[in-house]
């Protein structure tokens, strides 16, 4: 889902107002940047060179025949409408059933009407005859407000929807939720900004449930949520690998990763890895991007050159795809009708980069991993199933661009080519190796211990989660035996150690043996979990330091480096500090100012933080920093003008040209004087900023003086106006 710039429409009246603003923005942007020979490119109809008339709708069978995948792979249809409508998330449970979240409220027309009408569902799909195609669909949860993810926990299912995280239980076994309880405020910003709200709910090796667009992680203990602060990661979708690395992305970056679980021992010298490659190669024209009026953004075949709508990604670890694809990351580009694959340049932990798998094509010259001739294929999420195959969630519609971010160029194209029609569809696809034995691959392990021994990461994580959430203390002896079994897979042993750590049953002997093990990952886990085994979580045990010295003098890279680090500095501080919500003293000392500031923080989190981030530091390619910015702490009139009417063209921040930003800071004049007063008072006095208060009267006075203005300001205009 492309996030280029943000404009709200609340009522029909505001929708019409915003369209007027967008139309006038086209003039300004054309003058500032995208003009050529006196022509405003934002008024371009360049798509007509590649798209003739209304874009057709294809049946599931027709769509299946249009896919292109590398030799040795095939695409299979798992489910389609009416079983699923507008799907955005799919996850298997331990019984082979596929749970799908729908967003039927999303962009039902070009204006995004009735977005939060409770018309979406969580569906449970069943394959009754074992042929790999779903035969039965049951609505587990109906009348839902755009549910975005589910997580299976002891006793029920967590469902994340707009504004809340629900604990849902099926007490009579009919696969329908008959007991629904709100347990947490969640995805609250989705009501205002659906593209920038929490989602994901992914269980990882370190026993935490992670999610995108959030700085919190969860555990499920005794039928309650335990919440902990963590790094803010990603935008849509979440994944992890066999080593506990977290993988995530945002609309203009294919993938990023960090190894917080192992004290950031990879990548060396950095907190996280971010892929530099932004290219992809579709096998259909995909002109329906926000800014394809800029001819430099399209190639000669009518394809978008670089990503701007990357979404859900998945990491392969298992035997199904074969050794060449071990550790590969698959990420979807929803507007580009493509799923790209990125293979590590070296086996982990020596991995330093990922290279996109590109294939020659007679017509298109080169293409990415999975492409199609169907321009309504909209892959919004991916995951690996218990069979080790890649599953793709296809929203299957024309328009995937949210109303907040829609340019007039794109709007015109949507209406002319019929991309706003035929929305009640949805497909789930599977990418599988040719000749694989699906029935065998889907076999459930005989026990949870056997599940930890699986070659497939899906089953290992599933079994680990069942052990810890079910508090299976009775398995502690078997788990310690597995952890110490040198003939067992190192991955199985590591899963056993993490499970034991959560149960509080990790034996000292298990750690001692791990530190002497031949496999680097077992050794590394021994270092990481030694404190837990000795009930000294924050400190490495004194009696094990001799073994650590041996490791620190070894020739093995990452184990040696970790051992040296812990010997020298001890364990690093693992708690991620919660951003302090503290107003400056001049705000705290005034009750009126304090209320303004506090309300402003709430509005900021719902309306602004998706782009400018909770910490005010902005997001590369999307929004500039607000912390320590002269646009924020300088002239309050300049700040008011920038927010009410927006800013177009290049800007300087603290006297330096800001690069990599969208061409327009959108107007937020639709917000009330009071709301703007609260938000601007907060940002002028948030983080490290200290500035004067902005009152509702300040906003009112500005509007009155500039009531004839419709266009955004340019930086030079603001200076000329004395702002």
Average pLDDT over residues 253-268: 96
pLDDT of residue 295: 67
Q: Is 332 helix (H, G, I), strand (E, B) or coil?
A: strand
Partners of residue 139 on adjacent β-strands: 123
197 vs 350, residue with greater confidence: 350
Whether pLDDT at 141 is above 60: yes
Check the CA dihedral 496-499-503-504 and report its sign: positive
Higher pLDDT, 464 or 252: 464
Comparing 37 with 715, which gets the higher pLDDT? 715
* Maximum pairwise Cα distance, the chain: 78
Q: What does the DSSP 8-state code read for residue 51?
A: -
Element (DSSP H or E) covering residue 338: strand 338-344
Residues 3-28, mean pLDDT to the nearest whole number: 34
Q: Across residues 195-222, what is the average pLDDT?
A: 93
CA–CA gap between residue 503 and residue 224 (Å, rounded): 16
Here the tokens at position 46 are 């360049």
The token duo for 442 is 């889907």
- The architecture in CATH of the region 44-436 reads 6 Propeller (2.120)
- Check if the beta carbon of residue 211 is closer than 8 Å to that of residue 312: no
Element (H, E) at 247: strand 246-250
Is the torsion defined by CA of 511, 512, 515, 519 positive or negative? negative
Residue 220 has pLDDT above 80, yes or no: yes
pLDDT of residue 720: 92
User: Do the Cβ atoms of 466 and 492 come closer than 8 Å?
Assistant: no
- Looking at residue 12, its pLDDT comes to 34
* Residues 94, 100, 106: CA angle, nearest 5 degrees: 160
Interval 623-639 mean pLDDT:
92
Place 40 in a pLDDT band, splitting at 50, 70 and 90: low
Token output for 58: 């294809």
Q: Kindly give the interhelix angle for 557-569 and 520-533, rounded to the nearest 10 degrees.
A: 30
Q: Which CATH class for the 585-720 domain? A: mainly alpha
| Model pLDDT, residue 621 | 64
pLDDT tens column, 301-332: 999 999 989 999 999 999 999 999 999 999 99
Q: For residue 222, say if its preceding peptide bond is cis, omega within 30 degrees of 0.
A: no
**In this predicted model, what pLDDT tens digit does every residue of 371-423 receive, in sequence order?**
999 999 999 999 999 999 999 999 999 999 888 778 788 889 999 999 999 99
- The stretch 223-236 carries a mean pLDDT of 92
Q: Which residues contact 16 (CB under 8 A, 6 or more apart)?
A: none
- Radius of gyration, alpha carbons of the chain: 26
In this predicted structure, the answer to whether residue 124 has a pLDDT above a threshold of 90 is yes
Pair 327, 336: CB distance under 8 Å: no
Q: How confident is the model at residue 20 (pLDDT cuts 50, 70, 90)?
A: very low
Question: For the chain, first and last CA: distance in Å?
Answer: 35
User: In this structure, what is the dihedral angle of CA atoms 377, 382, 384, 385, given to the nearest 10 degrees?
Assistant: -70
Pair type for strands 713-714 and 647-648: parallel
**Least confident segment among 98-112, 188-202, 491-505:** 188-202
- Asked whether the predicted pLDDT for residue 193 surpasses 80, the reply is no
Mean pLDDT confidence for 508-536: 96
Percent of the chain exceeding pLDDT 90 equals: 71
Q: Are residues 163 and 188 in contact, defined by beta-carbon separation less than 8 angstroms? A: yes
Average pLDDT over residues 672-687: 93
- Those residues whose C-beta lies under 8 Å from the C-beta of residue 534, and which sit 6 or more positions away, are 508, 511, 541, 544
If DSSP codes are grouped into helix, strand and coil, which group holds residue 656? strand
Answer whether 379's CB lies under 8 Å from 393's CB. yes
* Predicted local distance difference test score (pLDDT) of residue 4: 25
Residues 533, 663: Cα–Cα separation, whole Å: 54
Helix (H) and strand (E) counts in the chain: 20, 35
CB 382 within 8 A of CB 331: yes
Question: Residue 178 above 80 pLDDT?
Answer: yes
pLDDT at 28 over 50: no
User: What's the mean per-residue pLDDT of the chain?
Assistant: 89
Encoded tokens for 166? 């629900």
Residue 666 has pLDDT above 90, yes or no: no
* Mean pLDDT value of segment 34-52: 67
- Reduce the DSSP state of residue 308 to 3 states and report it: coil
For residue 351, the SS3 value is coil
- Measured N-to-C along each axis, helices 508-515 and 545-552 cross at an angle, to the nearest 10 degrees, of 20
Predicted pLDDT at 17: 36
What number is the average pLDDT over the span 254-272?
95
Question: Phi/psi of residue 246, each to 5°?
Answer: -90, 140
Mean pLDDT of the 611-626 span: 82
Cβ atoms of 220 and 227 closer than 8 Å: no
Instruction: Report the 3 state secondary structure along 365-419.
Output: EEECCEEECCCCCCEEEEEECCCCCEEEEECCCCCCCCHHHCCHHHHHHHHHHCC
**Which tens digit of pLDDT belongs to each residue from 410-460?**
889 999 999 999 998 999 999 999 999 988 889 999 999 999 999 999 999
Q: Which residue do the tokens 């599931």 mark?
A: 60
- Phi then psi dihedrals of residue 637, to 5 deg: -65, -40
Question: Where exactly are the structural domains of the chain?
Answer: 44-436, 469-569, 585-720
Give the C-alpha separation, 47 to 77, whole Å.
Answer: 30
Q: Among the residues of 614-723, which ranges form H helices?
A: 630-633, 636-645, 673-684, 696-705, 715-720
Secondary structure (3-state) at 359: strand
pLDDT band at 555 (very low <50, low <70, confident <90, very high): confident
606-634 mean pLDDT: 84
For 6-10, 199-203, 537-541, 624-628, which range has the lowest pLDDT when averaged over its residues?
6-10
Phi, psi values for residue 117, rounded to 5°: -65, 135
């Amino acid at each position: 889902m492309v996030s280029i710039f943000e404009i709200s429409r609340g009522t029909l009246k505001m929708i019409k107002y915003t369209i007027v603003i967008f139309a006038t923005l086209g003039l300004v942007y054309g003058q500032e940047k995208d003009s050529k020979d006196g022509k405003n490119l934002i008024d371009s109809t360049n798509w007509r060179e590649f798209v003739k008339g209304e874009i057709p709708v294809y049946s599931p069978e027709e769509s299946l025949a249009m896919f292109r995948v590398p030799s040795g792979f095939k695409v299979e249809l798992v489910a389609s409408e009416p079983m699923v409508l507008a799907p955005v998330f799919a996850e298997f449970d331990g019984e082979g059933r596929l749970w799908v979240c729908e967003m039927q409220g999303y962009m039902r027309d070009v204006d995004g009407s009735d977005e939060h009408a409770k018309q979406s569902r969580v569906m449970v799909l069943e394959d009754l005859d074992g042929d790999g195609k779903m035969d039965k669909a049951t609505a587990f949860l109906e009348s839902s407000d755009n549910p975005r993810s589910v997580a299976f926990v002891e006793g029920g299912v967590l469902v994340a929807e707009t504004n809340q995280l629900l604990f849902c239980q099926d007490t009579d076994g009919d696969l329908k939720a008959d007991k629904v309880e709100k347990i947490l405020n969640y995805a609250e910003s989705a009501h205002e900004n659906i593209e920038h709200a929490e989602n994901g709910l992914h269980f990882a090796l370190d026993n935490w449930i992670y999610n995108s667009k959030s700085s919190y992680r969860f555990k499920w203990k005794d039928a309650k949520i335990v919440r902990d602060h963590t790094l803010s990661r990603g935008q849509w979708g979440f994944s992890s690998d066999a080593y506990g690395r977290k993988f995530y992305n945002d609309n203009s970056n294919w993938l990023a990763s960090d190894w917080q679980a192992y004290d950031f021992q990879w990548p060396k010298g950095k907190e996280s890895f971010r892929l530099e490659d932004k290219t992809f190669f579709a096998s259909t024209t995909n002109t329906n991007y926000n800014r394809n009026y800029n001819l430099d953004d399209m190639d000669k075949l009518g394809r978008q050159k670089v990503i701007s709508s990357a979404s859900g990604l998945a990491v392969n670890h298992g035997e199904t795809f074969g050794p060449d694809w071990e550790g590969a990351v698959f990420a979807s580009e929803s507007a580009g009708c493509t799923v790209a694959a990125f293979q590590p340049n070296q086996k982990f932990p020596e991995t330093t980069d990922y290279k996109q798998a590109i294939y020659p094509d007679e017509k298109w010259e080169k293409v990415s991993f999975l492409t199609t001739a169907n321009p309504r294929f909209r892959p919004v999420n991916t995951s690996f199933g218990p069979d080790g195959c890649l599953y793709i969630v296809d929203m299957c519609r024309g328009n995937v661009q949210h109303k907040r971010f829609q340019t007039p160029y794109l709007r015109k194209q949507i209406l002319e080519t019929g991309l706003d029609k035929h929305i009640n569809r949805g497909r789930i696809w599977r990418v599988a190796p040719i000749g694989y034995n699906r029935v065998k691959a889907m076999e459930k392990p005989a026990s949870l211990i056997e599940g930890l021994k699986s070659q497939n990461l899906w089953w290992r994580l599933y079994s680990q989660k069942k052990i810890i959430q079910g508090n299976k203390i009775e398995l502690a002896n078997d788990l310690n035996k597995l952890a110490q079994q040198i003939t067992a897979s190192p991955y199985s042993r590591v899963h056993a150690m993490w499970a034991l750590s959560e149960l509080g049953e990790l034996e000292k002997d298990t750690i001692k043996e791990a530190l002497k093990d031949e496999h680097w990952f077992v050794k590394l886990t021994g270092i990481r979990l030694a404190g837990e085994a000795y009930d000294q979580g924050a400190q490495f045990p004194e009696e094990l330091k001799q073994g650590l010295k041996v490791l620190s003098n070894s020739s093995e890279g990452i184990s040696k480096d970790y051992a040296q680090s812990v010997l020298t500095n001890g364990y690093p501080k693992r708690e991620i500090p919660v951003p302090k919500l503290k107003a400056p003293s001049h705000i705290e000392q005034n009750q009126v100012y304090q209320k303004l500031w506090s309300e402003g923080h709430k509005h900021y989190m719902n309306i602004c933080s998706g782009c400018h981030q909770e910490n005010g530091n902005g997001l590369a390619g999307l929004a500039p920093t607000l912390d320590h910015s002269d646009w924020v702490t300088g002239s309050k009139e300049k700040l008011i003008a920038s927010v009410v009417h927006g800013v177009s063209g290049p800007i300087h921040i603290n006297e330096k040209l800001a690069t990599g930003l969208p061409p327009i800071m959108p107007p937020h004049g639709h917000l009330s004087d009071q709301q703007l007063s609260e938000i601007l008072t907060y940002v002028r006095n948030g983080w490290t900023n200290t500035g004067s208060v902005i009152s509702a009267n300040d906003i009112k006075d500005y509007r009155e003086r500039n009531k004839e203005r419709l266009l955004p300001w340019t930086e030079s205009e603001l200076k000329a106006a004395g702002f």
